[in-house]
Amino acid sequence: MESLQQKILTEGKVLSDSVIKVDAFLNHQVDPVFMQSVGEAFATRFAGAGITKILTLESSGITPAVMAGLSLNVPVIFARKRKSLTLHDNLYSADVYSYTKNESSQISISQDYIHHDDVVLVIDDILANGQAALGMIELIEQAGAALEGIGIVIEKGFQEGGNILRKRGIRVDSLATIASLENSQVTFQEEGPIV
């Protein structure tokens, strides 16, 4: 997605060989009109797949997921990272280890909103080590629903996540894939046919 690559180049800040800060347009501040085009890009890629629900993880996944849901006209569920007082029973839960935060946390969804006859698209902002995606897949498995694929805004192609998921036969569609951040330089992986 050309406009996304431009955003990454102009507004992203490379902090190290493995970390790029995209707070300016994805993780902290968002441009809703641009994010609508991100949602439309996901909808185009997953059109005709019979998606009935989108699952994401709070907080940064919510905007791209909701915009994809707007285009596909399906409900969006955001998994919660901590149990809240009004979300305490009948949960599907999975443990997710965060390498950036260096801690494990539990993510949960209510059993009320994903069912065995659902066809689920997982959307997330960043794919790095794949731990969040694996956690969401576990929730979908617990619900007995079908996972159609995973839509990612920015994939860090030099980290494990993409390989781990694709080796499991899961369709992963990333709108932009960063091949390298070496020497404070963002290099994108060329977009090829999706395998």
The continuous run of DSSP H or E covering 95 comes out as strand 91-98
Helices marked H in 61-122 — which ranges? 62-72
- Give the residue among 76, 115, 79 at the shortest CA–CA distance from 96: 79
Under rule CB under 8 A, residue 10 binds its own copies: no
Under rule CB under 8 A, residue 139 binds its own copies: no
Under rule CB under 8 A, residue 93 binds its own copies: no
Nearest distance, CB of residue 193 and its own copies, angstroms: 29
Question: How many CB atoms sit inside 10 A of residue 8's CB?
Answer: 22
Under rule CB under 8 A, residue 41 binds its own copies: no
How far is the C-alpha of 114 from the C-alpha of 148, rounded, in Å? 14
Answer yes or no: is 102 a known binding residue: no
Nearest distance, CB of residue 181 and its own copies, angstroms: 13
Answer yes or no: is 5 a known binding residue: no
How far is the C-alpha of 108 from the C-alpha of 87, rounded, in Å? 9
**Cβ 49 vs Cβ 148: under 8 Å:** yes
Under rule CB under 8 A, residue 86 binds its own copies: yes
Residues in 98-137 that interact with its own copies by CB under 8 A: 100-101, 109-110, 112-113
Answer yes or no: is 128 a known binding residue: yes
**Cβ 141 vs Cβ 170: under 8 Å:** no
Nearest distance, CB of residue 180 and its own copies, angstroms: 19
Under rule CB under 8 A, residue 176 binds its own copies: no
Question: DSSP 3-state assignment of 41?
Answer: helix
Residues flagged as binding site for xanthine: 27, 156
Q: Which residues bind to its own copies, rule: CB under 8 A? A: 15, 19, 21, 23-24, 27-33, 35-36, 58-59, 62-63, 66-67, 69-70, 73-78, 80, 84-87, 100-101, 109-110, 112-113
